[in-house]
A and B are shown apart, each in its own frame.
Chain A
Amino acid sequence: MLFLHHLIEKQRPAFEKGGKLERFYYLFEALETFTFTPPTTAGLKGSQVRDAIDLKRMMMTVVIAMLPPLLFGMWNIGHQHFLAIGQPEAAFMDKFLIGLIQSLPIIIVSYTAGGLVEVLFAITRKHPINEGFLVTGMLIPLVMPPDIPLWQVALATVFAVLVAKEVFGGTGMNILNVALTARAFLYFAYPTDISGSKVWTYLASGDKVVDGYSGATALGVVAEQSTLLSEQKADFAGKAMEALGNTPWAPGLFSFENMFWGAIPGSIGETSTLMCLIGALILVASGVGSWKVIVSVFVGAYATALLMNGLAVNAYMSVPAHYHLVMGGLAFGAVYMATDPVSASHTEIGKWIYGLLIGVMTIIIRVFNPAYPEGIMLAILLMNVFAPLIDYYVVQANKNRRLNRATV
């Protein structure tokens, strides 16, 4: 492969200072370092050997950990489609292909739109093109509903990369999780398109849905039922579960087992708790994701939901605690979003607090704010903002220990 490297190296003078294409140097650098790990050696003084890891490999590990939910999500798009039109017995490949055709454009648009912003900034701000986008570009499609218009994907990605990342100085400097910012942007900019019951299942024009069909997610169903019952001041005991069980076109759709498995309507990658756990296993085993954050999000959510059960005054509060763990995007958020090392808490003690509070906030937002059926997105964004504060106190504690030592 050396000839290829020579070929690339031959182009180098044009991109270096004084060259014709000087301003595109970082584009050249990105291409070169993508194909070849450069022959850079250690400096004069300091560590003369280095670890085999680099940022690209680390980011790639996250991308690989996202493959289980992605592949499952593709199948699930097709599965939901055929459920809705009353042909649940359709072949596996038919379901998968529909999902592939539906989701691939979203992935391509996300990578292209975000990549363009990234390159533009790298050229104007003269910094290397960062590998972080490998992950963000894949995360964004996974939190998109399958039926989202592509222009919205592009717009949200551009907004997120610009506002959540580049204005703060690029990868490593961002305060908010970039992919979640994209999702939140859509949520607040086009609320009618991304909430409600229409977007979660792909339906081609002319498709006839089966009788009794509703495309709402489990969270949507419970929220709606809960609001309804509150307005009627009716007895809520057991009503949430009843509503979840009321899916005549696909019996058992919102059973605990099925929600854990993930064959339910929802964003492309978020539906399957099982696949997220497989991803979590990859992230934790590889040491790239923090198990502390993942575990503490689940613990926080479960404990809060249990507390809600005890104090239940409406249908939503009475939803069994373990249901909360498999409904909506909690698992996906805990595994892929909360663990983002840049926007999460940077200290080890901080990670416990950060994760716990995400879990707690998720359930609170879900249950007490029917306008936002999905709590994890806002909970993580909120805690992203608070992570530096948590760190501040943990770091301050470290400083105080040092100070106390000196004065004793």
Chain B
Amino acid sequence: MPDVIKLKQGFDINLAGKAALKLTEGIVPDTVAIKFDEFLGMHRPKILVNEGDVVKSGTPLFFDKKMEKVIYTSPLSGEVVQVKRGEKRKPIEIVILADRTPDYVDFKKYTASQLAGLPREAALDQMLSSGVWPNIVQRPFGIVADPSVAPKSVFISGFDTHPLAPDFDFIFKGQESYFQAGIDVLKKVANTEVYLGLNASAEVSKVFSGVKNASIHKFDGPHPAGNVGVQIHHIKPVNKGDVVWTLHPYGVIQIGKLFLEGKYDGSKIIAVVGSEIQAPQYYKTYLGTQISKYVKNNLKQSHVRFVSGNVLTGTKLTDENDYLGYYDHMLTVLPEGDKPRFFLTDGWLGPVASRLSFHRAFGLLSFLNGKKKEYVLDTNINGEERAFVATGNFEQVVPMDILPLHLVKAVLANDYDGMESLGIYEVVEEDVALCEFIDVSKQPIQQIIREGINLVRES
């Protein structure tokens, strides 16, 4: 039995609209899109396709001129209908019209036993050219990993504690062999230890229970216990100069499938959740799917916000014709909160129990509701942006030996040494997302941290 690492700091946001354990297959999106903004470290993409080109699942779409070996490929077969560009011809997204019948580029296929004898170079090449590589996100910086830099370790978090997050046991059911193959390939390519973090307070999913060749650690505690950054911090922290690879289990499975089946499979199961969805459940679809088919006739009202990803770190989508993000496994639909609230009734002096708060200041009664209560939260920021006030609360939601307030202040002061020594290499946005949630001054903490990361990365 692996030791359980108990985490005290954190906060669970219990939202209404959890997905029922029900999967609908067969709803194929009309179009999918790959958005360039998703890849945070991308320098200048070189686009390899033109509008009208027919592509298969695994056909190269573009690469980054700074990291030419890493090929980004099409998640499904179809036709490139649009290469959308913005100002100064900055590429925005590539839109692909989906075929009815899937067609795959053939990659080399191995049996599980052959994988053991597979040379590292061959494995690496196949990963780079097929499109599975961008699943590997490196710390520091939270960007697509550089294949020429050997990592210190590889980390996979086997659970997601974000609000309304998908249940990995459900979405990865029956993928055990792929997952194991993925671990084996990663171990070979990274040539180092692979760590898997599991949830101590739930039964271990079948996908992970029989895993070999990985060091397993269990974590117990509120969100962000499932964040890979938190797990790295407690097992093998990222120091200056270190590189650690992190993957979502989906990426591991994609890698495993690539080697066992010889194809790049861009299909994924997503959770469509949130208080404004009539029937929250799971759908089998494709990476970068257009969301319209999954929300049409499935909304409780029309004044909503579509969020790609979870409510803490997600991205606002423009409308139902927009596309889910490359790394996202869920679509959250929230009520839009653009209504003013009178201060005595439901504004800043009124008693509120229906809006969740980490705090217990005057009139904030949500702590009386108990942990079982599910909240319908809207997108209102519930206040005004104000100067930083050091309330000492940030430390209570970051379960790492990091002083978030001091780190943020170091970023704001452009203090490179300070950022470095206070742990900028260990965090990405999601690790401080709860700070942004609970902040009384409504500061954009995640954005500040990203600015800090970029400063250090570019220095």
- Say whether chain B's binding surface is mostly helix, strand, loop, or mixed: loop
Instruction: Establish whether residues B348 and A56, one from each chain, have CB atoms under 8 Å apart when the complex forms.
Output: yes
Instruction: Establish whether residues B439 and A395, one from each chain, have CB atoms under 8 Å apart when the complex forms.
Output: no
Contact flags A166-196 to B (C-beta < 8 A → 1, else 0): 0001111100000000000000000000000
Which stretch in B126-134, B202-210, B336-344 binds the other chain?
B336-344
Instruction: Establish whether residues B403 and A341, one from each chain, have CB atoms under 8 Å apart when the complex forms.
Output: no
Instruction: Establish whether residues A55 and B383, one from each chain, have CB atoms under 8 Å apart when the complex forms.
Output: yes
Which stretch in A137-145, A286-294, A299-307 binds the other chain?
A286-294
Instruction: Establish whether residues B387 and A50, one from each chain, have CB atoms under 8 Å apart when the complex forms.
Output: no
- Please pick, from B342, B359, B446, the residue contacting A36 in the complex, using a CB distance under 8 A: B342
Q: Within 8 Å of chain A (Cβ to Cβ): is B380?
A: yes
Contacts A36-B342, A37-B347, A52-B356 given; does A170 touch B387 at CB 8 Å:
yes
- Please pick, from B360, B377, B429, B440, the residue contacting A286 in the complex, using a CB distance under 8 A: B360
Contacts A37-B380, A49-B13, A53-B364 given; does A128 touch B386 at CB 8 Å:
yes
Q: Within 8 Å of chain A (Cβ to Cβ): is B345?
A: yes
Bound complex: CA of A49 vs CA of B274, how far in Å?
12
Bound complex: CA of A200 vs CA of B423, how far in Å?
52
Bound complex: CA of A36 vs CA of B447, how far in Å?
27
Chain B residues near A29: list those with CB within 8 A: 384
Q: Within 8 Å of chain B (Cβ to Cβ): is A311?
A: no
Contact flags B343-382 to A (C-beta < 8 A → 1, else 0): 1011111001001111111111010000000000111111
Nearest-CB residue, chain A, relative to B383: A54
Instruction: Establish whether residues B341 and A36, one from each chain, have CB atoms under 8 Å apart when the complex forms.
Output: yes
Contact flags B307-333 to A (C-beta < 8 A → 1, else 0): 100011111100000000000000010
Nearest-CB residue, chain B, relative to A400: B421
Chain A residues near B446: list those with CB within 8 A: 45-47
Instruction: Establish whether residues B347 and A36, one from each chain, have CB atoms under 8 Å apart when the complex forms.
Output: yes
Bound complex: CA of A55 vs CA of B391, how far in Å?
10
Bound complex: CA of A29 vs CA of B377, how far in Å?
25
Q: Within 8 Å of chain A (Cβ to Cβ): is B28?
A: no
Contacts A4-B342, A36-B347, A47-B437 given; does A41 touch B391 at CB 8 Å:
no
- Interface size for chain A: under 10, 10 to 19, 20 to 34, or 35 or more residues? 35 or more
Chain A residues 19-61 with CB under 8 Å of chain B are 29, 33-58, 60-61
**Number of B interface residues, CB 8 Å?**
80
- Please pick, from B349, B387, B423, the residue contacting A57 in the complex, using a CB distance under 8 A: B349
Bound complex: CA of A172 vs CA of B442, how far in Å?
14
Chain A residues near B440: list those with CB within 8 A: 51, 53-55, 58
- Please pick, from A33, A35, A49, A406, the residue contacting B311 in the complex, using a CB distance under 8 A: A49
Query: How distant is B91 from chain A, measured CB to nearest CB, in Å?
Result: 18
Q: Within 8 Å of chain A (Cβ to Cβ): is B124?
A: no
Query: How distant is A170 from chain B, measured CB to nearest CB, in Å?
Result: 6
Nearest-CB residue, chain B, relative to A404: B239
Contacts A395-B403, A398-B422 given; does A53 touch B382 at CB 8 Å:
yes
Query: How distant is A391 from chain B, measured CB to nearest CB, in Å?
Result: 8
6 contacts between A and B (CB under 8 A): A37-B346, A38-B340, A41-B337, A55-B384, A287-B393, A346-B406
Interface residues of A (CB under 8 A from B): 1-2, 4-5, 29, 33-58, 60-61, 64, 127-128, 130-132, 169-173, 285-288, 290, 341-342, 346-348, 351, 395, 398-399, 401-403, 405-406
Interface residues of B (CB under 8 A from A): 13, 15, 237, 239-241, 305, 307, 311-316, 332, 334, 336-343, 345-349, 352, 355-364, 366, 377-393, 395, 401-403, 405-406, 421-423, 429, 433, 436-442, 444-447
